[in-house]
Amino acid sequence: MNKYLFHVSGTHCASCKILIEDILGEQDFIGNVNVNLKKEIVDIETSSEKSAEEIADILTSKIKANGYILSVEKMIPEKKGDDLIWKAIPIGLIFLVLFFILQKSGILNFGIGTKTTPVTSFIIGLIASVSSCLAIVGGLVLSLSAKVMQDDGKLAKKTFILFHLGRVFGFALFGGILGFIGQAIGINFMFSVILGLFASAVMIILGLNLVGVFKKSKFTLPSNLFSYFRKVEHTIISPILIGVGTFFLPCGFTQSMQVAALSSGSFISGMGLMLAFALGTLPMLALLSFSSFSFAQSKYAPLFFKASGVVVIGLGVFALLAGLAGVGIINPLFNI
C-alpha cells in the first residue's frame, strides 16, 4: 500500500467530505480515504503503482462531476469567487425583478369569496406563498436553508422537515387557540412588525454571508443573540421553534387568517382554517428549502449560494424598508 496526499479544491460544505470519501472509497485500488476539509487535503492509501500525478488525474475524473479537483500541488486559489459573483448578481436580480413584477401585476389580488372555509384558506395560503409575504417568510426560509446546507449538509434534511412540521402544526395549534378564545385580542401589531424587522436583519446578514462578503462560512459577528441563534440552529428544538415563530411574522394574509380564525367560533374550526392555510403555503416554502438541498450537492453549489444570497439581500432590504415604513420611522418609499 502506498500513501499519497492530495490537495482538493471545490469543497464547500461538510457533506463534501462524505461524498468524496464515498466515491473514492468505491474505487477498487483505493484503501483508506480521509478528507480534511479544513486543510483541503485528502489522504489516500492505494495499491496502485502509478505516479501521484496519474492517480490524481484518475481520481479527479471520478469526482469532477461533483465539482471537486484533486491535485498533487496545492492549486493557487483562482479568482474564481470573483467571477462567480458576476454571474450570481444577474441571476439573483432576475429573480427579484420577476418577483416584484408578479406583485405589481395585480394577478394575486383577485377576490376570494366572502366566506372563509378551509378550502378558501388553502387557496389563500397558495397565493400568500407567492405574494409579498414571500419576501419575508420565504426569504427567511431560503437564507436559513442555504446557511444550514452550507454548514452541514447531513443535518439539513432533518432541519428542513422539522421546520416545516413546526410551521404547519404551530399554525394549526395557534389557529385553534384563536378560535377557542374567540375575542378580538389579535396579535400585537408592534410585536409582529418588530419580529419582521428582526427577520429582515437576519436575512440581510445571512445574505451577505452567502454572497461571501464575510469570510467563508464563518460568523465574525459579535452579536450574542446571533451566536445563540446559530448555536441552537442545529438542534431539534430550534427549527421547530422558528417554524412556529413564522406564525407571528408580519404578513397580511396570515393576519387576515388569524382574524378569520378568531371569529370562527371554536377550537376545531380555527385550527382547520390555519392548518389549511399553512398547508397552502407549504409547497412553495418546501420547494425553496429543498431546492437549496439539491443544488447544494451539485457542482452549481457555489453559484447557487451566491445567487440566493443576492435574492435574500434584496428581499431583506425590501422587508426592512417596508417594516420601517410600517412603524412610521421612515416614509413609505414604494407601493408594491
Among the listed residues 298, 296, 303, the one whose alpha carbon sits nearest the alpha carbon of residue 86: 303
- 108 binding another protein? (CB under 8 A): yes
Q: Which residues pair with 8 in a beta bridge?
A: 70
Residue closer to another protein, measured from CB, 15 or 258: 258
- 328 binding another protein? (CB under 8 A): yes
- 259 binding another protein? (CB under 8 A): yes
Is-contact 146 306, C-beta < 8 A?
no
Is-contact 42 95, C-beta < 8 A?
no
Is-contact 284 138, C-beta < 8 A?
yes
- 114 binding another protein? (CB under 8 A): yes
Pick out residues in 6-45 that bind another protein (CB under 8 A).
none
Euclidean distance between CA atoms 37 and 45, whole angstroms: 18
| Cell 436583519 sits on residue | 201
Fill in the per-residue mask, 197 to 236: x = in contact with another protein (CB under 8 A), - = not in contact: ----------------------------------------
* Stretch of 24-32, 37-45, 238-246, 323-331 contacting another protein, by CB under 8 A: 323-331
- 79 binding another protein? (CB under 8 A): no
Q: With CB under 8 A, what is the number of residues at the site for another protein?
A: 58
**Long-range contacts at 82-88 (CB < 8 A, ≥ 24 apart):** 84/302, 84/303, 84/306, 85/211, 85/212, 85/306, 87/303, 87/306, 87/307, 88/211, 88/303, 88/306, 88/307, 88/309, 88/310
- 194 binding another protein? (CB under 8 A): no
Binding interface with another protein (CB under 8 A): 86-87, 89-90, 93-94, 96-97, 100-101, 104-106, 108-109, 111-114, 116, 124, 127-128, 131-133, 136, 186, 189, 192-193, 196, 250-253, 255-260, 318-319, 321-328, 331-336
